Structure formats: C-alpha cells, structure tokens
Structure 1
Amino acid sequence: MLTSKARAPSRLLGSVGRFGVLSALILLIVFGALRYTGFLSEYNFSTFLRYNSMFGLISLGMCFVIITGGIDLSVGSVVALASVVAALLSPYGALVAVIGAVTSGALVGAINGLIITRLNIQPFITTLATLLGARGLALLLARNQGGVGIDPNNAAFAWLGQGDLLRLPVPGVMMLLAFIVGGVVLSHTTFGRHALAVGGGEDASKLMGLNVNRVKLGVYVLSGALAGLAGLILAAQLGAGQPTEGLGWELSAIASVVVGGTLLTGGTGSVWSSLVGAMLLGLIFNILNFENGKGVISLSPYWQSVIRGAFLLLVVVLQSRLARQSSE
C-alpha cells in the first residue's frame, strides 16, 4: 500500500483535477451562454448529450483501466466492431442487438485481459494489437466501408440512439446510469477498492493476498463492455453499423480521464471527474462549432484530432510538473 507521504501528491493531483476541470466546465458554459444565441437551448443540450454519451461511456471504462495502471487503446475499434454487430443483429430484435454489441465488446476486453495477465504482455502492446484486430474484423463483417444498415422496422433499436426519456436523450440517460453504477462500484465495493490498490502498488497488492490478475481482467472486460454499449448507441443514432468510425476515440477517453485528475501511473481516480473531463472536451468542440457558425473561425473536423492530442499533452505535462512539485 502507499505510505501517507506517497499519497500526498496523489491527493493533491486528484483535488486539482476535480475542482480545476469542474471550474473550467462551468466557465465554458457561462462563456457559451453569453456569446451564442441558442447555446442553452434544449436542442443544443439534447444534441450535445446524445453525441457525447458515447465518449462518456468509453471514458468510464478507461477510468477503471487507468486506475489499475493500465491502458486500453482498443476502445475506438471496439466501438466500430460493436456497431456493426448490433446492426447485423437488429433484425432479431433490439434486445438481441444490445446483448450482441455489449458481449462483443466484453469479449475483446477479455482477450486483452487474458493476454496481459497470462502472457505478461504490456497493456500498450496488447491493446494496440486488438485495436488493429477489432477494426479489421469490423470491416470484414461489414464487407465494405459503407457500413451495415439496421433493420428499418426495428423502432425499438432506433429509439436507443434517437429517442427521449423524460425529455432527456436516451443515450444520455444510459450514460448517467452507467456512471452512477460505476461510482458505487469504485467507492463502495471490494472490486473498486482492489482496483485502486492494484494501481497503487501491484507487488504490495499481491503480498496482501489480492488476486491482481482477476482485477486486471475485470477492468478490461468492463472497458470492452462499455465500448460495446457505445457502439450500440452509434449504430442506433446513425441507422447503420460504422466500421470506420471510432478513429482516435481512445485519445478522447484517455484525455477525459487524465484531465479529471486520474494519474496515468494508477492508484487514484474518480469516475465523476472523468465524466466532467469528457463533458469538458465535448464542450470545447461544441463551442468551436458555434464559432464556425459565426464565421469567426473555420476549422475542419480534422482539427479535432489535433486539439485532442494537444489537450492530452497539456494535461500530462501539468500532471508531471505538479507531481514533481509535490514530491519536493
């Protein structure tokens, strides 16, 4: 376990992450409300939540993985694969499509976990390999790069991505429920405590008698399942499986988790801070879209990858400097 002296930098970084990112989110909302007509409209709120729910879900899974000191680069490809699986199964009913999408994601997560724990391969290499494999499988199942259409008669399936529940977009409701469960799991269950312990010190966790491999396997299965759920939402929103979607989504998930104060070295983290981080990153792009509409700037969608990369680099540099200052 970490000593009290070793925990101090982690607590400081966690506090800076939680309160700093929340303050930034609030300031951006105030800025958008004052500058843009329709920014606080129900339409913009609903559209924002509907689209960014997918990034929220993969960020939740990534949070658990990073807390254990791991990384999952395959989530974007898993989203694409699950969207194709959901579309192919949609003629058999919405429930079958949901089960198929989540199961396909969980299976990729299980493969990641087993390779990492049984073959002792680094998570970076393992998930990079499954990133390529899942993307290739998605393209094979789709048989072309145009996607696979869902059954047009399956209104229940389309509702999962396009419908509303109590005037809230269904994908947003699904994301919030997932975060509530994730928050309870991390803070109030044995699995959550073990995940934090493994990230804080794997060798110490083994000496305490924790089944480290089981915890690692669990977080990768969880990450894959949540990516599968995001893929289901993607297919339901767009009306087709999208084998070429999800490129770079793993960067968004990592950036959201890290900006929320979760250390890349593991041992500390908050699912709610990760949610705020995901919403902050999404809000930045939302504001850029409004700026494009005003004609002040003109950024193509390709700039999103540049901004994600720069955002992630900035946060990692700040984390590194804060950690050095805390240890001095």
Structure 2
Amino acid sequence: MTAVETEKAPRNAVFAGIDTFVNRHASVLPTVAAAVILSVLLVGANIRFDGRFLTPGNISALLLNNAFLMVLAVGMTFVIVTAGIDLSVGSVMGFTGILGASMLSGGVPAIVVIPTMLVAGALIGLLIGVLVQYFNVQPFIASLAGLFLGRGLAYVVSLNSIRVEDPVVLWLQTTRFRLGDWYITPTGIIALVVVAIGALVMQYTRFGRTVYAVGGSESSAELMGLKVARTKVMVYVISGLCGGLAGLLLTAFSGAGYPRYGIGTELDVIATVVIGGTLLAGGRGYVLGSMIGVFVFATITTIISFMGAEQSWTHIIVGGLLLLFIVVQRAIVARTSRTG
C-alpha cells in the first residue's frame, strides 16, 4: 500500500462511519438540528442584548406566552406522523374559547364548562377523522371543512369579545409558582404535561407504534393486522381535543373569548412541528421535537420584540427555516431510500 493510500484509508473510514451514523439516526437529525438552532438563537440573542435575554423572567415567559401553541403542536404531531394534516386547530381553539367564555358569562360553573370545551374540540376532530377514513376525503379538504365549521360556530356563539371573570379559569394564568426568579403558571404545567403524555404515548404504547406504522406505509400496516382505521380517526380526535384544551389555555391567558382568536395559528403550528423534525410525508417525528420547534418560534418572536422590529419578520424568518427543514428532510429521505 502506498503512502497516499495509507493516508486515504483513515479518511475513508471516518466518512464511512459518518454515513453509517447518519443512516442509523436519520429520523432524529432534524430534531437535533432544531435543538442546535434554538441554542444558537438563545446564545446569539444574549450576546446581542448584552446578557439581558437569557434571564429567568424572559425564559419563563417563553412557556407562559406559548402554552396553547405547544398543546396544539402535540396534537398536530400525531396527525402529521400519519401523513395527514389538520387545518382546523386554530378555528377549533377560537370556537371552544368563545364557547367557554359565553357559558361562563351565563353562570355555568367551570367544572361543566371545561369538559364541554374539550368535548367540543374532540367532536370536530372526530368529524374530520371520519371524513378522512370512511369517506376518503383528502385530509387537507376535510380539515379545511373543519376550519370553516369551527370558525362559523364561533361566530354563531358571539360576534364580540366576551370577558372571562371566573376565578377558576383565571387562576390558570394568574398563579405563579416561583423558584427564585424563575416561575411557571398552571397553563405552562398543563402544556408540559400534555407534551410528556404525548411523548410517552408515541414512543411506548401500541397505539403510538401504530401511528408510526400508518405514516410509514398504510398498506403495510393493514397487512400486519394493525387497526389502521381506528388509529387514523383517533389522531384527529386527539388533535381536536388538544384544540379544545388550547382554547381553554388561550382564554385563561387573554382573560376573554373572541371568535377571531386562532386565525392563522394552524400555519404556525404546522411550521413548529416541521421545524421540530416531523416529516410531512409521515412516518417520522417526535413530540419533544415539536416542543423544541415551539421554543424556536417563541424565541424568534421574542428577539424581534427586543429589537423593536415589525412582527412580520417572525413569519419571514420562520418561513425561511421551514423551507430549510423541508429541504433537509427531503435530502435525508432520498439518502435513506438509496441506502435502503
């Protein structure tokens, strides 16, 4: 062996090792990339603003202000992993929020209102799931119908904002559990619990494994005897349920219900889930990755607020990141397909 060949051998071994690592861990690479981007944003912002960004109060506010978005992202992750989409989540959140505020203003106790909001969201999700599975309606069209249904129902309930004065609902947002300068609200705790439950279900239950199998290949999942129909309907029910819960959290956060709440939120949710590493084609994705995607979105929004710039830049930057992650996902899928 010549000296040149001897020198190339270790390099080839290194490249081969990298290829093997990428192929074995392709599904988590986009999520890792999102975590790296989040770290860069946080550190870069802290340097840019002379150490005034990474403060306990500011970091605590990231969860406080985006608890409802995190809950929506969990439900959307289930749907997208099955290669579906749910455009109704924003309108479901708006509808359940104004419904709850209207019932509370009418004297209905919170112990009745809260389950009603959750059930209302789940029913819209059930309708979308039935359309997708049993009527062969494309998820985009079925969830678009759900979007119009939810928004229409919200306007039926009220055309105006309804103030919430119920102490139980307001307690969810006004209460602060503190540890020094750090704090968390009940809304934040609820969001983190939903993330934890979603992650455990996806990774350690038969239902979660079926969700991945359906997204990977629905026909193969049917041949394996998995309950494909029930799973496809259930993911939309879960998304609707998360929409109802997000309506509660947003109502507590704002102190009011408003029929126009959530317009465009479905696009933010899809963006955060994709940035968090969930593959739009289905079969791959992590709830924890979606949580990271929400924090990326929240951090960008906060940075722009610190700079005093227009919030339109948030959507410009998130759009650029979304395009980048879609390209990365396509490259990973193409690579694993060739090696497979």
Q: Do these two structures clear the TM 0.5 threshold for a shared fold by scoring above it?
A: yes
Structure 1 match to 2:331:
321
Structure 1 match to 2:40:
27
- Report the Cα offset of residue 10 of structure 1: 8.0
Separation in 2 of the partners of 1:161 and 1:318? Answer: 38
Structure 2 match to 1:199:
215
Determine if contact 2:67/2:191 at 8 Å carries over to the other structure.
yes
- Report the Cα offset of residue 38 of structure 1: 3.5
Determine if contact 1:161/1:234 at 8 Å carries over to the other structure.
no
Determine if contact 2:173/2:187 at 8 Å carries over to the other structure.
yes
**1:229-263: CA deviation from partner (whole Å, max 9, x where unpaired):** 11111111111112112122111211111122211
Structure 2 match to 1:89:
103
- Report the Cα offset of residue 11 of structure 1: 5.4
1:56 and 2:66 aligned:
no
**1:72-127: CA deviation from partner (whole Å, max 9, x where unpaired):** 01111111011111112223222222212211111110111011111110101100
Supply the AA of the counterpart residue of 2:124.
Answer: V
Determine if contact 2:37/2:296 at 8 Å carries over to the other structure.
yes
Determine if contact 1:62/1:253 at 8 Å carries over to the other structure.
yes
- Report the Cα offset of residue 41 of structure 1: 3.0
1:227 and 2:227 aligned:
no
Alignment of 1:142-181 (within 5 A): 142=158, 144=159, 146-150=160-164, 152=165, 154-166=166-178, 167-181=183-197
Determine if contact 1:260/1:277 at 8 Å carries over to the other structure.
yes
Alignment of 1:203-282 (within 5 A): 203-282=219-298
C-alpha spacing 1:307/1:96, structure 2 compared with 1 (3 Å): farther
Task: Give the secondary structure class of the aligned counterpart of 1:243.
Answer: coil
Contiguous gaps of at least 5 residues in structure 2: 1-20
Determine if contact 2:30/2:328 at 8 Å carries over to the other structure.
no
Contiguous gaps of at least 5 residues in structure 1: 1-7, 293-297
Separation in 2 of the partners of 1:136 and 1:161? Answer: 28
**1:33-92: CA deviation from partner (whole Å, max 9, x where unpaired):** 223254233332332211111111111101010111111011111110111111122232
Separation in 1 of the partners of 2:320 and 2:115? Answer: 36
Task: Give the secondary structure class of the aligned counterpart of 1:14.
Answer: coil
Task: Give the secondary structure class of the aligned counterpart of 2:28.
Answer: helix
Between 10-19 and 64-73, the greater mean CA deviation after superposition: 10-19
Determine if contact 1:68/1:195 at 8 Å carries over to the other structure.
yes
Larger Rg: 2
Supply the AA of the counterpart residue of 2:205.
Answer: T
Task: Give the secondary structure class of the aligned counterpart of 1:39.
Answer: coil
Supply the AA of the counterpart residue of 1:22.
Answer: A
C-alpha spacing 1:168/1:89, structure 2 compared with 1 (3 Å): same
Supply the AA of the counterpart residue of 2:128.
Answer: N
Separation in 1 of the partners of 2:145 and 2:321? Answer: 25
C-alpha spacing 1:194/1:305, structure 2 compared with 1 (3 Å): same
Task: Give the secondary structure class of the aligned counterpart of 1:156.
Answer: helix
Structure 2 match to 1:107:
123
1:311 and 2:316 aligned:
no
Superposition TM-score, scaled by structure 2 size: 0.86
Separation in 2 of the partners of 1:86 and 1:161? Answer: 16
Structure 2 match to 1:189:
205
Structure 2 match to 1:118:
134
Structure 1 match to 2:27:
14
- Report the Cα offset of residue 303 of structure 1: 4.2
Superposition TM-score, scaled by structure 1 size: 0.89
Alignment of 1:122-133 (within 5 A): 122-133=138-149
Q: Name the Cα RMSD after superposition.
A: 1.9
Task: Give the secondary structure class of the aligned counterpart of 1:171.
Answer: helix
